[in-house]
Every structure is written in C-alpha cells, then in structure tokens.
A and B are shown apart, each in its own frame.
Chain A
Amino acid sequence: MEARFDLMANQLGAKIAKRIYNVALAIVQSPLPQGTQDLVMLRASQINGCGFCVDYHTKDAAAAGEDATRINMVAAWRESTVYTEAERAALALTEEGTRLADAHPGVSDETWTRVREHYDDDQIAALASLIAMINANNRLNVIMRNPGGSYQPGMFAGMAN
C-alpha cells in the first residue's frame, strides 16, 4: 500500500510540510507536558483513522518512555484508571475539538472549564493549537492515503529549521 501522492517529492509540498513541522516544533517546546501532547495527538489520529499519525505518535510516545498500557488505553480513556485529571481534561477537549463536523455543537463550556482548571494560558494556547494541527495533519495524510506501519522515531528531525 503506497501513498497516492508524495508530498515531499513536490517542491511546494515539501516547503509546506517543512513549515507545518516547524509549527509543531513550537508546540513541542511549549510548557504543555510532552506526555499529554502525545496522548492528545494519538486520540485525534484514532478518531480520524489516520494510520500514519497513529503509527507516528504511538512510536514516539513509546520512545519517550510512555507505558504500553497508557498508550493502549487512549482509545477508551474515559473508562480507564491510568490517566490524571489534567490528562482527562485535555483528552475531552481533543475529542470535542476533533468531532466538529456537520452541525456538531462544538466544545462544551463544561469541558472548557475543566481544561481551565488544569492548564495556564501558555499551555492552553499550545493545547488548542496542537488539536488544530494534528487534525490538519490527519486530513493531509488520510487525503494522500499515506499509510502507517513503517515510521521510525526521529526520522523527521532533519526538517527542523
């Protein structure tokens, strides 16, 4: 199964991909905990069925030392004992911010209040941007049908400015 289109083989595509990567890097360097960032990106990618991103973020999480149980439980986090209240608030925001299509009511005040209780302004700026960016990346990879399975942690490090 090969991707329909190789974004990196196209000059404009490669330029756009590099900029997307560097936006992601700004978020990675934010005070939002890296473990939370991995959970958020994984959950959005599962909902969007993005194989490439699920592969990417499960392997990155494992490489960063995340426990296999915590990686495996992300799809059913609500009914799990292994996440903190702060992580659960971030995951709730991720789900509501990802399932926006077709007259969905959007993000509830209740979820937003929970997020506010656990994160400061810098972290919230990073979290909202992270949810937006991972959804954009999911779309990009699903549209191109870029399949998951062969990601190696660190393989995109060369794209940093």
Chain B
Amino acid sequence: MTARLNLFSNPTTTTAKAAGYFGKASKTILEESTLPAATQKLVVLRASQINGCGYATDVWSKNAAHAGESATRVNLVAAWRESTVFTDAERAALELAEQGTRIADAAGGVTDDAWANAAQHYNEDQLSDLVMLIALINATNRMGVIVRQRGGDYQPGQLG
C-alpha cells in the first residue's frame, strides 16, 4: 500500500526544502530538549493515536520500544488515565498532549488546570519544548494522514 503522494521524492522542490527545516525543528526538540526523551515519545505517540496517523504511530511505538521502553507502557499510552505505569509528570504531559491535539471545532482548547499541572512538573524551557513538540507532531500527523502514508514497515533507526 503506497502513499497517495510522496512529499519528499524530489529533493529540488519547495516541499523538500520546507521538509528539511521541519525535520531540523523536530530534531532540535528531540535531541536538545531537557524534556525527558521517554516523555517526548509518549507525547508524540498519544497525539498520533488520536489523529489516527498510522505512520507516526508505527515510528514512535517502535522508537520507544527500541529505546528500552516496556511493552506495557507503550501499550497503555492509549488509556494512560486509567493506568498505574506513568509518573505524575508524564501524566501531566499526556493531558496537555490530548487537550492540545483535540482543539478542533470550538472544543475549548487547553484548560487552566491542565496547564497549571504541567507547569508544576516542567520548567519554562521544558514547557516551551512540550508545546512545540505537540504542535510539530500534530503537523506531522496531518501530513501522514492527508497523503495516506500508512504505517507498519518502519524499522527503528530510520528516523530520530
């Protein structure tokens, strides 16, 4: 099952140039942020599940497992609220990820409670990085779903 369109096949296009910047932006957060790497993976996996993005769900569940995350924690991300295996800090990040992802059609945005809870666990730099990360993965999910880039055959290490 191939995608409807390969966004990055021609390296001379405007899209390929923009994708280069986009990739660097994502990489900067993933590699340089003091936000724990495991938390970042939980956040991007949860957003990708909500958006039904097969490609990113495949990438981030495999990257998490490859980085040593337990199968139980990877599997429970979709029902993290009713789970014992995430820390309060991770739960705060996941709450922000859910609310920041489900913003469509006057949903009400991110609550003061969710924001205050995240601010208790992360400093300003980490909070900024978290906001960027949630924004970037939501953009990535849209690209994946619009061109129908399906998940299933990602190999850990191909990306980030």
Residues of A within 8 A of B (CB): 1, 45-46, 48-55, 58-59, 62, 68-69, 71-73, 75-82, 141-142, 145-150
Contacts and interface: CB of A to CB of B under 8 A. Distances in A.
Given A46-B49, A59-B72, A82-B152, A76 B57 contact: yes
B1 A76 contact: no
A58 B152 contact: no
Given A72-B57, A76-B52, A51 B153 contact: no
Q: Chain A interface mostly helix, strand, loop or mixed?
A: helix
Closest 5 CB pairs of A and B: A79-B54, A51-B82, A72-B61, A81-B152, A149-B84
Contacts of B136: none
Interface in B120-160: 144-145, 148-153
B54 to A, nearest CB: 3
A79 B82 contact: no
Contacts of B56: 76
Nearest to B46: A75
A54 B76 CA distance: 6
B72 A55 contact: yes
A81 B74 contact: no
B44 to A, nearest CB: 13
A77 B52 CA distance: 8
Contacts of B72: 55, 58-59, 149
Contacts of B145: 79
Interface residues of B, number: 35
A48 B79 CA distance: 8
B3 to A, nearest CB: 10
Contact of B75 (A48, A71, A142, A147): A71
Given A53-B79, A58-B76, A149-B83, 20 more contacts: A45-B79, A49-B78, A49-B81, A52-B82, A54-B75, A54-B76, A54-B78, A55-B79, A58-B75, A73-B57, A73-B58, A76-B54, A76-B151, A78-B54, A79-B148, A79-B150, A141-B82, A147-B82, A148-B83, A149-B76
Interface in B22-76: 48-49, 51-58, 61-62, 65, 71-72, 74-76
A68 B71 contact: yes
A147 B83 contact: yes
Given A1-B84, A59-B72, A81-B151, A148 B52 contact: no
B55 A75 contact: no
A46 B74 contact: no
B120 to A, nearest CB: 18
Nearest to B65: A68
B78 A73 contact: no
